[in-house]
Structure 1
Amino acid sequence: MHPHKTEKAHSALRDRPADVSVLERRILILSDGRREDAEIADLLGAQARDAIARLLRDGYLSDRDVAQTAPAAFIASIAPASVVAAPPEALPARAATAAASSRRSIAAAKMYAVDMLQLQRGPEAAAIAAAIRGCRDQDELAAHMLRALRFIHSVANPSLSRRVADRLAEIMPEQYLAELDVFRDALFGDRTVAA
């Protein structure tokens, strides 16, 4: 199973309701539809399995595997008419363009960096997160996110820091990708191409 966040989960990450524990918040942060539930449980401990089950049951998470096997008729019944009426060869190109543009956002990168810093804890992580939250200039914000990545690389295991770098490469606006690539080369010694 590859759990991913629902709109309810995004709201919970934003609003921090009392009924979502720290462990459940961490699970929501890590649930990106690419990681398996077993991988998330390995990262967060055995108690994460029960928490994942609750988040699925309560509508915070959805199983990407189930969503991918939904019948085409059901998808067509809920899709906007313009998408259904489009010629079949236009659908993949339109979907790929929409997906790529919707994933790239300085706001999304900002939220992700802050969430990853909150997982690290400690005064330096809190200071970097505060600088990111308080920043209004996009170029300065990108610099703070690189600082966050350097900090995460220094305190977390290499696998996590690489995943954070790869995710930032997927969601940061394209104008900052060259700088991020140079930074990733310096941290990891090789260029990792984002999916």
Structure 2
Amino acid sequence: MQPCKTDLARDALQAHRAPLAMRQRRLLILCDGQRDLAQLTAMIGPEAPAMVIQLIQAGYLVSMAPAEPAPPAAVVPAAPPSAAAPTTTPAPATERRRSMVAARIYLIGILELQRHPQAAVLLRTLQQARNDEQVVAALRGALDALPGMTSPGYCERVRQRLFEVLPETRLAELEQAGVIPG
């Protein structure tokens, strides 16, 4: 299944006042009809499939491909009966979410929502970045410019989410550059 935003979702993301939790907003930003459920689960975490179903039922998402059968998904959670498996699973999921790719995709989604000419330039710069140093430079440029394109509260929420997904080493680089108050 490749979920895609509806007009209701686009309106909700632009209004910033929709009755959506932050994790639901993040998922909506990532649902572009290009990513399948497995990719979204890798970026958001194991709760992504349930959130996708909730957002489809609420009218925020539509499925671009036939839904996968539910029985295999129901068998997977029932299969690991040991207590050791759940304790080891959350740590890798958290680590997996901290990545340059997740940070890049998140900020690309944010920049796509902005109706500012500078956002389009920053978006292209971020899309064309080919290595981690270029991505960090593009992230820094976007974070510096974002306060001029949106409200301070929204800008701060974007910063916080970006800092949640950036790898620790890259986070330290942005702190040294003064993007993050030390």
Q: TM-score, normalised by structure 2?
A: 0.61
Q: Which amino acid aligns with 1:129?
A: L
Distance 2:92 2:21 in 1: 18
Paired residues of 1:105 and 1:171 also in contact (CA < 8 A): yes
Are the counterparts in 1 of residues 99 and 166 from structure 2 also a CA contact under 8 Å?
Answer: yes
Partner of 1:142: 136
> Please, which of 91, 99, 124 is the counterpart of residue 86 of structure 2?
91
* Distance of 2:24 and 2:97 partners within structure 1: 20
Q: Decide whether aligned partners of structure 1 residues 79 and 54 sit closer, same or farther in structure 2, where only a CA change above 3 A counts.
A: closer
Contact 1:104 1:170 in 2 (8 A): yes
| 2:111 corresponds to | 117
| Aligned-residue identity in percent | 27
Q: Larger helix proportion, structure 1 or 2?
A: 1
Structure 1 residue ranges without an equivalent (≥5): 1-6, 14-19, 38-52, 62-74, 186-190
**Larger RCO, structures 1/2 (Cα 8 Å, 6+ apart):** 2
RMSD: 3.6
Deviations 1:124-143 (A, max 9, x none): 11001000011111111111
Structure 2: give runs of 5+ residues left out of the alignment: 26-53, 63-72
1:34 matches 2:22? yes
Aligned partner (choices 112, 128, 131) of residue 125 of structure 2: 131
Q: Are the aligned partners of 1:128 and 1:148 in contact in 2 as well (CA < 8 Å)?
A: yes
Report the alpha carbon displacement of residue 168 of structure 1 after superposing the two structures with TM: 0.7
Which residue of structure 1 aligns with residue 163 of structure 2?
Answer: 169
Deviation at 1:101, TM superposition (A): 1.7
Tell me the secondary structure at the aligned position of residue 167 of structure 1: helix
**Secondary structure in 1 aligned to 2:180?**
helix
Q: TM-score, normalised to structure 1's length?
A: 0.57
Q: Which amino acid aligns with 1:25?
A: R
Of 172-181 and 107-116, the range deviating more from structure 2: 172-181
- Tell me the alpha carbon deviations over residues 18-55 of structure 1, each in whole angstroms, 9 at most, x when there is no partner: xx33x523646989853689xxxxxxxxxxxxxxx984
